[in-house]
Structure 1
């Protein structure tokens, strides 16, 4: 028969309990998830506005140097808008891949609570 206070068994039990508690804890709170989504939305808006601003600045500067009043500004604003949209799409794909990886990880992760039930019968 084993001792009533076997330190190895107690340590093993504590480890299994801590794993089970960690598995039951929520990964992120609702507020953190909302905050993250708001950050991504602002990032996309800033990318678009930056593209427009840079295009406007370059076009306006070249128009001033070359004397072609609105022509180059309109072209470079269009190019800046296109670059901003392309950057936004790249960011959206990045977020989508990250979300898909998180969902796949949650599906593949086994819960220690179920494993403990299986071990104990």
Structure 2
């Protein structure tokens, strides 16, 4: 059996651990550290790099096989799709959850759709 002194020490230790965990918890990543122009340029660069890589791969395959412009067109479209996908992932990482940048809920979460008391 555990005596009352041991229980009191365990409660004090649990409280101390809980305070330490709250202090060491990482801050959630939000869009507050980025300006709109930085995000816009990042997304433009992601899209253009996807297109450029697709163009390069398609042109390279077409040059080797002598089939201009079949693979060029195919890989430009694939690069465009990849660029859009990367842009969407960037937007999700900047605005986590199902909320839009203006703070309104997208409507499908289990929560109430509010963040930081706004909305």
TM-score, normalised to structure 2, is: 0.54
Q: How many Å separate the matches in 1 of 2:39 and 2:70?
A: 34
Structure 2 segments unaligned to the other structure (5+ residues):
1-31, 104-113
TM-score, normalised to structure 1, is: 0.53
Q: How many Å separate the matches in 2 of 1:82 and 1:97?
A: 22
Rg comparison, structure with higher value: 1
Q: How many Å separate the matches in 1 of 2:84 and 2:59?
A: 21
Task: State the superposition RMSD in angstroms.
Answer: 2.3
How many Å apart are 1:92 and its aligned residue?
Answer: 1.1
Aligned ranges 1:1-121 → 2 under 5 Å? 36-97=35-96, 104=115, 106-107=116-117
> Which fold has the larger relative contact order, with Cα–Cα distance below 8 Å and residues 6 or more apart in sequence?
1
Question: Which structure has greater helix proportion?
Answer: 1
Structure 1 segments unaligned to the other structure (5+ residues):
1-32, 108-121
Runs of 4+ in 1 over 4 A off after TM superposition: none
Q: How many Å separate the matches in 1 of 2:45 and 2:38?
A: 10
